[in-house]
Amino acid sequence: MTVWLDDAIAYTQSWLSYQMGATQLPGCVVAVVKDGEVVAELAFGVADIRSGEVMTPAHRFRVASHSKTFTAAAILKLREAGRLHLDDAIGGFVPGLHDRLAEATIEQLLCHGAGVSRDGSRADFWGNTGPFLDLAGLRAALGGQTVIDGGTRLKYSNIGYSLLGLLIEAISDELYAKWIEREIVTASDLKETTADLYEAQETGRLASGHSGIMPFGRRPMSGIANTRAMAAATGFVSTAADLARFFNSLSPNATKSVLSVASRRSMALPRWPLPGSPLRRGYGLGTVTGEIGGHGCFGHGGAFPGFLTRTVTVPDWGITVSVLTNAIDGYAAQWAEGIIDLFNVFSERGPALPHLQEWSGRWWSIWSAIDLVPVGDRLLVGDPAALQPLDAATEITVSDATSGVVTEAFPMASFGETVQRHPGDASSKPMLQIGALTYCADPADLSTI
């Protein structure tokens, strides 16, 4: 294992524990995969606010648009088998399309460049007030013309990816779910992943979804819905570990995958920039691409009634992080990217020197909590309330077991001032002093400051 990863995962668990309390989200599961192996599974909160059932890594989630990555991998596997070319027109495989849509290429559909409407004429399924489109409903949506000209910009489309599901059926002469579960899911050794929910008995260990806390208070949302003809865009159900293992296998550096190295590289190559994105984000073939901390990354997110999920892979490290939340206002994207950001700090600075470990911990004042995080040869003062908890952190150089000095800080902080740690004893509580500010180890003791 990468030498810094154990320390990074330990702080990830501490940080997310704080975040869960601060956001009051029902539950969350995080999986970290390194070079194909699950190295961490972290579970927080509850799977259902009604029963109080404790969330576990075994719980399954609706992972929604992560389905697009599975579908894209399936298309590329068919290309490797010589069954299609990415510049083929979709109308050559799927009849009955509007003339403009029939001219769209398979690659344009994969990268959301075909100009297709996002969800058709009505999307009650996203409001949890109507069913997902069946084949007739999808066919009706595909009979209309494209919204904009193809090949002009990224226009995200669930209808376009549902059409790719019909393409897979046309070429394989099998139902989409049957073919993809055999050729992609089972071939990737994913035990807890299905292309959709088919029967009530298949919902075992499915975490309950939940509404946002605003405007009426948090409410359960079962997540038990068949996505029917839209499964290729949004139907998949999975665990954090399965999802992370699959995305890890799509890294060009992976040693085992259902796709060739060339296909995997192609998936992560951005075709379109995400308009307005300040973070150099783009969309490839079924993947969201970008850069975090100078490292290229790819992955996808998912939004389903009651669930928000996000997966990020960093090929340079051979690491994938999946964050699954069971609430419609979950922080899956922010937490996944925050984890990658703090991993970057540990990767650059290396594991902590042994004598710093006794300083590790959370401290409280009436203003906020702070974390002392040993990394490399310094203590970083982390902000557990932040989405990037170690970003531009104050740094402390430790002198001995109880003292140190602030050697890096913003001008408004306590640069150059002393740090004192009082472990506490029978007559006193543990205290920390950074410059003139005092913190306590137990928030219950704040009244004594």
pLDDT digits (tens, 9 = 90+) for 97-122: 999 999 999 999 999 999 999 999 99
Among residues 302, 320, 349, which one ends one of the domains? Answer: 349
The overall average pLDDT reported for the chain is 94
Q: Are residues 280 and 424 in the same domain?
A: no
CA distance 153 to 228: 28
Neighbours of 132 (CB within 10 A): 24
Among residues 349, 374, 401, which one ends one of the domains? Answer: 349
Whole-number pLDDT of residue 144: 86
Q: Are residues 187 and 232 in the same domain?
A: yes
Contact 274, 97 (CB under 8 A): no
Query: pLDDT digits over 164-201, tens only?
Result: 999 999 999 999 999 999 999 999 999 999 999 976 55
Query: pLDDT digits over 4-52, tens only?
Result: 999 999 999 999 999 999 999 999 999 999 999 999 999 999 999 999 9
Q: Are residues 85 and 108 in the same domain?
A: yes
% of the chain residues with pLDDT over 90: 88
CA distance 149 to 168: 24
pLDDT exceeds 80 at position 286: yes
Q: Are residues 333 and 387 in the same domain?
A: no
Among candidate residues 295, 252, 231, the one with its CA nearest the CA of residue 65: 231
Whole-number pLDDT of residue 201: 54
Question: Which CATH number goes with the domain that contains 217?
Answer: 3.40.710.10
Kindly report the length of the chain: 449
Q: Are residues 278 and 181 in the same domain?
A: yes
Among residues 300, 332, 349, which one ends one of the domains? Answer: 349
Q: Are residues 310 and 365 in the same domain?
A: no
Containing domain of residue 321, as a range? 1-349
On the 0-12 / 13-18 / 19+ scale of CB atoms within 10 A, 198 is middle
Q: Are residues 345 and 369 in the same domain?
A: no
CA distance 377 to 352: 6
CA distance 326 to 321: 17
Q: Are residues 412 and 299 in the same domain?
A: no
Q: Are residues 364 and 332 in the same domain?
A: no
Q: Are residues 238 and 369 in the same domain?
A: no
β-pairing, 295-304 vs 288-292, is antiparallel
Whole-number pLDDT of residue 333: 96
3-state SS record for the chain: CCCCHHHHHHHHHHHHHHHHHHHCCCEEEEEEEECCEEEEEEEEEEEECCCCEECCCCCEEECHHHHHHHHHHHHHHHHHCCCCCCCCEHHHCCCCCCHHHHCCEHHHHHCCCCCCCCCCCCCHHHHCCCCCCCHHHHHHHHCCCCCCCCCCCCCCCHHHHHHHHHHHHHHHCCCHHHHHHHHHHHHHCCCCCECCCCCHHHHCCECCEECCCCCCCCCEECCCCCCHHHHHHHCCEECHHHHHHHHHHCCCCCCCCCCCHHHHHHHCCCCEECCCCCCCCEECCCCEEEEECCEEEEEEEEEECCEEEEEEEECCCCEEEEEEECCCCCCHHHHHHHHHHHHHHHHHHCCCCHHHHHHCEEEECCCCEEEEEEECCEEEEECCCCCCCCCCCEEEEECCCCEEEEEECCCCCCCCCEEEEECCECCECCEEEECCEEEECCHHHHHHC
Whole-number pLDDT of residue 256: 97
Q: Which residues contact 321 (CB under 8 A, 6 or more apart)?
A: 30, 31, 32, 244, 311, 312, 313, 336, 339, 340, 343
Number of domains, the chain: 2
Q: Are residues 50 and 78 in the same domain?
A: yes
Buried b (16+ CB within 10 A) or exposed e, 334-363: bbbbbbbbbbbbbbebebbeeebeebbebb
pLDDT exceeds 90 at position 308: yes
pLDDT exceeds 70 at position 413: yes
Q: Are residues 184 and 68 in the same domain?
A: yes
What's the whole-number mean pLDDT along residues 150-171? Answer: 97
CA distance 440 to 430: 6
CA distance 418 to 436: 9
